[in-house]
Structure 1
Amino acid sequence: MTDARGRCVYACPEWEALTGQPSTEALDRGWVLRVHPDDRGTATGILDEALASGAEFSIRYRLLKPDDTPRWVGAGGVPSFGIENGAFIGYLGSITELAGGATDTIAAYGNVGRFVPPPPHPATMPIDTLDLIADHLIITHSLIEEDDGAKAALPGARIALLEVGLALAARMRMQGRSLN
């Protein structure tokens, strides 16, 4: 989860198992330290481009395991907007490990404007119920956007995403973590 400036304000507990980096060290732009050095520009560039317009985004890049060997992941986010004034307040995102060897010959890439999450991998499956709800809502958001007949449900999905984001933020405050 990010704030409106793209700073990570929440990283799920699985982040540490995936990267070896404590979730608290992933905050702000600390997560970038676990992105393969050759892919950092792509990952941060796509995020920054999406931030400029509050658009969805998706990225494929290499993330460093705890032993610093790379693994390919698919990540992305959907924008969250405030209830009162509809202002962009940040992203709820998802990350999943891709099958080993499946994309070893490609370079990191991404796009702004659409996030279609890859299928979950057992290594990145959320163990926390609130994180799992966020992932399912992100998938729901993506599916609604694909079906013209379901577009009327998009505002409700966005409100649900906002509520989950607020619940994650409240939990962080209770744990004594600062969002600023």
Structure 2
Amino acid sequence: MIFAIDPVGALSHVSPEWTKLTGQPIAAALNEGWLSCLHDHDRPIVKRILVQAVETASEFCIQFRLRSTDGGARWIGAGGVPSFGPPGRTFLGYLGSMTELSLDGAETPAAFGNIGRFVPPPPHPMTTASDHLETIADHLLIANALIENDGAKAALPGLREALYEVGRALAKKVEAERRLN
């Protein structure tokens, strides 16, 4: 599931899968509305990591519980990659991905987060993007995580440019949908 966060840390876009998972309408999730769907104990951790990431324009990775439509809690892995654009590499916010985590019985999950490389967890059917543009963004975010591990750092600037362009296309699409509604 793809999301976008603006340069001050407010959610500006989230995939329709958000509503399927949480029951919260997308309009209610925007800005900081999505935080109300987080488990009460995990909310401060998520907020702290997001504030730190925005302050430093750094990649981030978080794991937290999210209330779902069935009333239960789902473990989510999420993270974002900063986007920079003109003029002068201005920090524009984040393009990110979140997926439900498939935990085995031996794991004792805990909410956590860190600033640094975002390595997306494997996709889960409940949070798989249904839109082609969002699927492209998901794959680019995965490629961004893998590229450093495989010694292809020279390709990172081009990949980041592709993420920027996909983010712009998503923003145009969202704006067009808002005008129609």
TM-score interval for Structure 1 and Structure 2 normalised by the shorter chain: over 0.9
Report the AA paired with residue 17 of structure 1.
K
- CA distance, structure 2, for counterparts of residue 103 and residue 57 of structure 1: 26
Q: Pick one of 1, 5, 11 that aligns with 2:8.
A: 5
Q: Which moved more, 1:162-171 or 1:95-104?
A: 95-104
SS in 1 for 2:167: helix
Report the AA paired with residue 98 of structure 1.
L
Q: Pick one of 74, 87, 106 that aligns with 2:90.
A: 87
Note if contact 1:83-1:159 (Cα within 8 Å) is conserved in structure 2: no
Q: Pick one of 157, 165, 176 that aligns with 1:163.
A: 165
- CA distance, structure 2, for counterparts of residue 104 and residue 83 of structure 1: 44
TM-score, with normalisation over the residues of structure 1? Answer: 0.93
Which 4+ residue blocks in structure 1 deviate beyond 4 angstroms? 100-104
State the partner residue of 1:60. Answer: 63
Report the structure, 1 or 2, having the larger strand content: 2
- CA distance, structure 2, for counterparts of residue 176 and residue 152 of structure 1: 38
Shift of 1:106: 2.8
Percent identical: 52
Q: CA RMSD in A?
A: 1.5
- CA distance, structure 2, for counterparts of residue 153 and residue 56 of structure 1: 17
Question: CA deviation digits over 1:95-115, x for unaligned, max 9?
Answer: 000115558633200110111
Report the AA paired with residue 89 of structure 1.
L
- Unpaired stretches in structure 1, ≥5 consecutive residues: none
Distance change >3 Å, CA 99–CA 54, structure 1 → 2: same
Q: How many residues align?
A: 176
TM-score, with normalisation over the residues of structure 2? Answer: 0.92
Distance change >3 Å, CA 101–CA 6, structure 1 → 2: same
